[in-house]
Amino acid sequence: MKEITMIDNSFALAGFTSGKEGIWSRNEPSDPPTNDYTALSEKLEIPLSRFIRPYQAGGDKVGTVGAEHGGSGVIKGNDLKKVDGLITAERELVLSIIAADCVPVYLVDEKAEVIGLLHCGWRSAAGAIIHNAVEHMKKLGAVPSNIQVIIGPHICAECYEVGEEVRSEYAKVFAPKELESIFEQREGRLYLALTQAIHLKLTAEGIPDNNISAVNDCTCHDTAYYSYRRGDRGKQNLAYIMMK
Ligand SMILES: [Zn+2]
């Protein structure tokens, strides 16, 4: 088990954890909350009725959520279908997403009092999820130049071998020079640096370079985390953020 704090200041609290069991999703709407969610709720001293987990689909859809969504996907049926990004201006509402190698992206505009959390797989990283998230945040008063971003633990470019079809998809979106920085070629194999792709997408939305940071943890390298590439199935890590 491994748990790290991503943000803990007067404004927000955010973390990334494998949990003890790595089970964060309920199979049926009537299933009880998982033990890991219950433990996290006790640790944060926030009731599960103030936690949200969307039904992720590896797409571009982002939802702005409020108190009325509390408990969705955690203690009641998931009413956020095929949503991979959550934005809120509500305090003490815990946004969460599950990931096992995909990238959790934490967004904070302290001035506008708006936060967000995204689940980015390779498709979303090349897609519109970051654009959509920034648009949702702007509607709540956020300004790109004020948005701080932390790119959380995910599979690193040393571990993430991909096929040519991935580069072909990225070539539709990124310029040739950008592609050179996103893909690494080693011994005839192709590797994808998700951090770099996401960084480029963030700056394209007007978020300054200096506002973006990334943690070095790799979910595949570090066996304390769950990793799809390393063979974990049905077990994931959880990323979460809340405004205090
Ligand atoms: Zn790695």
Q: Tell me, in angstroms, the distance from the centre of ligand 1 to residue 68's CA.
A: 38
Its pTM surpasses 0.75: yes
Q: Tell me, in angstroms, the distance from the centre of ligand 1 to residue 4's CA.
A: 17
Q: Tell me, in angstroms, the distance from the centre of ligand 1 to residue 104's CA.
A: 15
Q: Tell me, in angstroms, the distance from the centre of ligand 1 to residue 151's CA.
A: 15
Residues 141-163 have pLDDT tens digits of: 999 999 999 999 999 999 999 99
Q: Tell me, in angstroms, the distance from the centre of ligand 1 to residue 193's CA.
A: 10
- For the chain, which residues make up each domain, given as ranges? 3-154+213-243
**3-state DSSP: the chain helix, strand, coil percent, rounded to 5?**
25, 30, 45
Per-residue pLDDT at 53: 97
Structure tokens at 130: 């970051």
Q: Tell me, in angstroms, the distance from the centre of ligand 1 to residue 227's CA.
A: 10
Q: Which CATH architecture has domain 3-154+213-243?
A: 4-Layer Sandwich (3.60)
Q: Which residues of the chain have pLDDT under 70?
A: none
Per-residue pLDDT at 27: 80
Per-residue pLDDT at 26: 85
How many whole angstroms separate alpha carbon 80 and alpha carbon 206?
Answer: 28
How many whole angstroms separate alpha carbon 72 and alpha carbon 76?
Answer: 5
